[in-house]
């Protein structure tokens, strides 16, 4: 991963740390900038605009290491070095917050990313080549401390597993499981019930990436093993005694996804009818849907009646799926305008009948279904809206037609394979 120099936005190299290098960069006429550190004489260097902005971010430092990380991938840095860099980083983030006119205390990592993207817009496709302000813990790999005796024999008996802390943890979890089982057996004989139960609501297991931060170099099968062992422990009746251990690997969620549902407003028609509007999409079909609250179950699409527009019963079933789920088929009226989505529009109508159409409208039906489900939310209440979400009716189907690739006939069909 190449890091760009904060000064000149080129690949970082040892030369970037000398001001002489920057004298050759394009300048703004008449611009005079005071350098941040005191040099022997007053330097009037004319610098690139972006580097002027960046000047305030990090103090100029000529490290003996010359942190060109690309050339030093194998190097691991000591804790003290990383701490120094973390202090610099925190300072830089504070200055960035001030620059953006924000409160430094409420400046999150996402805010850092978005402000860097704002200040230094880049159209480079490679994400790692764009300017960024990363936390040093992500950039600099830590050196591994090995505790060994004078003969060089490692102290930890699990050293040769290459992830001793991880396996130690696994052993510990298993010993806790055995303890919990023994406790359960003893108390069952004595007919004593456990005092409380372990409640894991509102939290979920840490993801693979998060566990990697705790134990570096843990691959997916090992992560799965850890989670399965912890789940097994959590099933025990006396698992509440090991709550600290279990909650260490759990992430508590405060903001639920259900709360992020669209806050749609209901509007009133010229005739005084209450309705709500939403848009739905499927492939290239786009549907603008209006759902009227007090209705008889009448559906009109592009001015046509429901069964005229969708002669196929499957398409009709797709459209009324949200009503089917909530058993509210006859309480709403629907007016929809749908366009697009007929990929086979160039196919001839020859040989097509209503039951066997050459241009079926299933994508349009899917678009209307999504529009109806979205528009129903304000009328139907929070629990029913959550039911719609859990049934997958509020997610837009992301499938699109796969592109044709060079060297193949179609997306997947290949040319005939010839051995020679």
Partner 1 sequence: MLVRYTLNLLRICSRQHALTPCQCRVFAQPSKGYAIYPTDMVDPQPSPEYYKENLPEEGDELSIKKIKAASSSQTYSTLYNPTIDKFTNLIVKEGKKFAAERIMQTTLAHIKLVQLKQYHAATESEKAEIEVNPTTVFCEAFNNMKPVVNVRSIRHGANVYQVPYSLEEHQRFFVAGKWLLDHIRKGKPSTKAGLRIAREILAAYNNQGEVMRKKYELHKLADANRAYAHFAWKRK
Q: How far is the CB of 297 from partner 1 (least distance, A)?
A: 15
**Cβ distance to partner 1 smaller for residue 184 or 397:** 397
Q: Give me the long-range contacts of 297-302 (CB less than 8 A, separation at least 24).
A: 297/323, 297/329, 297/330, 297/331, 297/332, 297/333, 298/333, 298/334, 299/333, 299/334, 299/336, 300/333, 300/334, 300/335, 300/336, 301/335, 301/336, 301/337, 301/338, 301/368, 302/336, 302/337, 302/338
CA–CA separation, 222 vs 216, rounded Å? 12
**Cβ distance to partner 1 smaller for residue 146 or 313:** 313
**Cβ distance to partner 1 smaller for residue 52 or 222:** 222
**Cβ distance to partner 1 smaller for residue 30 or 351:** 351
Q: C-alpha dihedral over 261, 294, 300, 266, to 10 degrees?
A: -40
Q: How far is the CB of 394 from partner 1 (least distance, A)?
A: 7
Residues in contact with 192: Cβ distance below 8 Å, sequence separation at least 6, in sequence order? none
Given a contact cutoff of 8 angstroms between Cβ atoms, the answer to whether 35 and 47 are in contact is no
**Cβ distance to partner 1 smaller for residue 96 or 318:** 318
**Cβ distance to partner 1 smaller for residue 65 or 262:** 262
**Cβ distance to partner 1 smaller for residue 400 or 419:** 400
Tokens representing residue 124 in the block = 């480079």
Q: How far is the CB of 393 from partner 1 (least distance, A)?
A: 6
CA–CA separation, 338 vs 314, rounded Å? 18
Q: How far is the CB of 29 from partner 1 (least distance, A)?
A: 34
Q: How far is the CB of 356 from partner 1 (least distance, A)?
A: 6
**Cβ distance to partner 1 smaller for residue 365 or 376:** 365
Q: How far is the CB of 362 from partner 1 (least distance, A)?
A: 6
Q: How far is the CB of 386 from partner 1 (least distance, A)?
A: 4
Q: How far is the CB of 322 from partner 1 (least distance, A)?
A: 8
Given a contact cutoff of 8 angstroms between Cβ atoms, the answer to whether 206 and 250 are in contact is yes
∠ CA 396-398-400, rounded to 5°: 130
**Cβ distance to partner 1 smaller for residue 92 or 366:** 366
**Cβ distance to partner 1 smaller for residue 302 or 395:** 395
Q: How far is the CB of 391 from partner 1 (least distance, A)?
A: 5
Q: How far is the CB of 395 from partner 1 (least distance, A)?
A: 4
Which of these, 261, 262, 255, lies nearest to 277 by C-alpha position? Answer: 262
Site of interaction with partner 1 (CB under 8 A): 123, 125, 201-202, 204, 207, 253, 256-258, 260, 262, 264, 277-279, 281, 288, 312-314, 317-318, 321, 324-325, 355-357, 360, 362, 365-366, 374, 383, 386-387, 389-400
């Amino acid at each position: 991963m190449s890091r760009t120099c904060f000064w000149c936005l080129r690949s970082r190299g040892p030369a970037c740390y000398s001001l002489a290098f920057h004298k050759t960069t394009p300048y703004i006429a008449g611009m005079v900038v005071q350098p941040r550190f005191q040099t022997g004489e007053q330097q009037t260097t004319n610098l690139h605009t972006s580097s002027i902005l960046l000047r305030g971010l990090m103090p100029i430092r000529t490290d003996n290491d010359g942190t060109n990380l690309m050339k030093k991938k194998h190097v691991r840095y000591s804790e003290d070095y990383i701490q120094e860099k973390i202090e610099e980083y925190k300072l830089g983030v504070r200055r960035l917050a001030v620059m953006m006119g924000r409160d430094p205390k409420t400046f999150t990592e996402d805010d850092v990313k978005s402000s860097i993207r704002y200040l230094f817009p880049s159209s480079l496709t490679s994400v790692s080549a764009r300017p960024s302000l990363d936390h040093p813990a992500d950039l600099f790999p830590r050196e591994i401390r090995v505790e060994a005796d004078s003969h060089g024999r490692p102290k930890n008996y699990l050293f040769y597993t290459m992830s001793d802390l991880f396996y130690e943890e696994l052993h510990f979890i298993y010993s806790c499981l055995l303890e919990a089982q023994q406790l359960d057996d003893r108390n069952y004989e004595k007919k004593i019930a456990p005092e409380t139960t372990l409640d894991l609501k509102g939290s979920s297991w840490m993801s693979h990436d998060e566990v990697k931060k705790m134990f570096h170099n843990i691959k997916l099968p090992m992560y799965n093993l850890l989670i399965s062992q912890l789940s097994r422990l959590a099933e025990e009746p006396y698992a509440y005694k090991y709550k600290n251990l279990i909650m260490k690997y759990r992430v508590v969620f405060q903001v639920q996804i259900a709360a992020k549902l669209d806050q749609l407003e209901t509007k009133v028609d010229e005739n005084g009818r209450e309705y709500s509007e939403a848009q739905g999409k499927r492939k290239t079909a786009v549907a603008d849907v209006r759902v009227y609250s007090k209705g008889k179950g009448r559906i009109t699409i592009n001015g046509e009646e429901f069964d005229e527009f969708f002669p196929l019963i499957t398409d009709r079933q797709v459209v009324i799926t949200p009503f089917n789920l909530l058993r509210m088929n006859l309480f709403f009226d629907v007016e929809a305008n749908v366009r697009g989505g007929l990929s086979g529009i160039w196919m001839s109508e020859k040989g097509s009948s209503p039951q066997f159409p050459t241009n079926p409208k299933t994508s349009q039906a899917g678009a209307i279904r999504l529009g109806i489900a979205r528009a129903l939310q304000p009328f139907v209440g929070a629990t029913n809206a959550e039911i719609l979400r859990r049934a997958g009716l509020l997610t837009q189907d992301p499938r699109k037609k796969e592109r044709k690739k060079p060297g193949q006939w179609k997306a997947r069909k290949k040319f005939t394979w010839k051995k020679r």
